[in-house]
């Protein structure tokens, strides 16, 4: 049975009709004419009729109560972020590189899942690993992270910062040793490179992050604070992007390293780490000094570069 509108002149009537199978054919029979549709709607009789019948259907009653906001929400879990970024995570070959780096280790914790969780957290909100586990994660369904305790997240983060063996320290900057994070970045670059890969253009810049409390035991130093917190120990973070805006690597240095001292080590390190010949580096005016420019133009490096400059301080400009 179903409702049907029957038009008669300018008026529309609402009927209850049933389908019947007679002599091999389907026929419709009007069971009742309820009245003019406009009057039924205005008077609320149609709503009362439907509610009266809906009580015999549990599913309809639940849906109606949900629309009215009368059903309690026990909990909700968001699944979209985990699904979308899991696909990107796989396409970038990040799990494969992590598994290769872990091949000689006997970790019992799910390092790859932990790193995925922390990266996803930082993409959506800015916060600590503790806030990720005790707050943000509760609202998101991320497979493989259901029973991860906080101390395992700390162990996975510490693994990324572990110094590599002495035989793998070639190309380290004077400011900090090579660590697991560097091997991960190089592995990701190797997965997407081909015979013609060259870093024809890279962008380099730095910022600073300061520590609260007792943080920064190794890299924390007092220096020029871009956050206007000279009272806090800080570290310098350098980011390198390729010409298409994809991140190549990041560098972590003690907080007292000045920008002007970072450019040459980065140029040399890029060539060593990623085995490239042609490179043009773009950096801002904070990287400029006469010594830096002389080294970039020297026969040893022969690097193309674009550096910002202060208009008033350079006669050529």
Is pLDDT above 80 for 299?
no
| 25-59 per-position pLDDT tens digit | 888 888 888 889 888 888 888 888 877 776 777 66
d(Cα 45, Cα 33) in Å, to the nearest integer? 14
**CA 93/CA 221 separation, integer angstroms:** 35
- Residues 178-201: tens digit of each pLDDT: 999 999 999 998 888 776 666 677
How is residue 173 written in tokens?
């900057």
**CA distances to 21, 282, 287, 289, 290 from 293, in Å:** 92, 13, 9, 6, 5
DSSP of 266-284, one letter per residue? HHHHHHHHHT-S--EEEE-
Overall pTM > 0.75: no
Between residues 304 and 65, the one the model is more confident about:
304
Summarised one tens digit per residue, pLDDT across range 236-274 is 888 888 888 888 888 888 888 887 788 888 888 887 887
Tokens of 245: 């805006």
Tokens encoding 183: 């091997």
Give the domain ranges of the chain: 2-67, 80-160, 198-313
Residue 218 CB contacts under 8 Å (≥ 6 apart), including other chains: none
| Predicted local distance difference test score (pLDDT) of residue 280 | 80
Q: What DSSP character marks residue 164?
A: P
Domain 198-313 has CATH 3.90.350.10: yes
Kindly tell me if the per-residue pLDDT of 311 is higher than 80: no
Q: What is the mean pLDDT of the chain?
A: 83
């Amino acid at each position: 049975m179903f409702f049907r509108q029957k038009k008669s002149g300018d008026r529309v009537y609402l009927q209850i009709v049933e389908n019947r199978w007679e002599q091999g054919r389907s026929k419709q029979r009007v069971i009742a004419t309820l009245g003019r549709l406009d009057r039924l709607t205005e008077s609320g009789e149609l709503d009362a009729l439907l509610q009266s019948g809906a009580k015999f259907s549990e599913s309809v009653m639940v849906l109606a109560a949900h629309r009215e906001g009368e059903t309690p929400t026990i909990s909700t879990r968001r699944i979209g972020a985990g699904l979308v970024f899991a696909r990107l995570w796989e396409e970038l070959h990040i799990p494969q590189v992590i598994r290769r780096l872990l091949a000689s280790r006997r970790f019992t914790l799910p390092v790859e899942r932990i790193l995925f969780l922390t990266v996803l957290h930082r993409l959506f909100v800015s916060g600590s690993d503790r806030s990720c586990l005790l707050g943000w994660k509760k609202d998101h369904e991320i497979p493989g992270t259901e029973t991860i305790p906080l101390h395992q997240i700390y162990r996975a983060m510490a693994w990324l910062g572990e110094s590599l063996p002495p035989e793998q320290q070639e190309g380290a900057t004077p400011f900090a040793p090579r660590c697991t994070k560097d091997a991960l970045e190089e592995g990701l670059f190797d997965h997407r490179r081909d015979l013609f890969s060259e870093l024809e253009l890279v962008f380099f810049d730095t910022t600073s992050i300061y520590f609260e409390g007792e943080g920064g035991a190794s890299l924390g130093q007092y220096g020029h604070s871009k956050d206007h917190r000279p009272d806090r120990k800080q570290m310098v973070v350098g980011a390198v992007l390729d010409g298409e805006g994809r991140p190549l690597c990041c560098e972590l240095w003690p907080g007292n390293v000045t920008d002007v001292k970072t450019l040459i080590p980065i140029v040399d390190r890029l060539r060593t780490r990623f085995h490239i010949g042609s490179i043009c580096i773009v950096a801002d005016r904070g990287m400029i000094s006469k010594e830096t420019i002389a080294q970039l133009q020297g026969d040893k490096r022969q690097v193309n570069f674009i550096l910002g400059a202060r208009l008033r301080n350079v006669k050529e400009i």
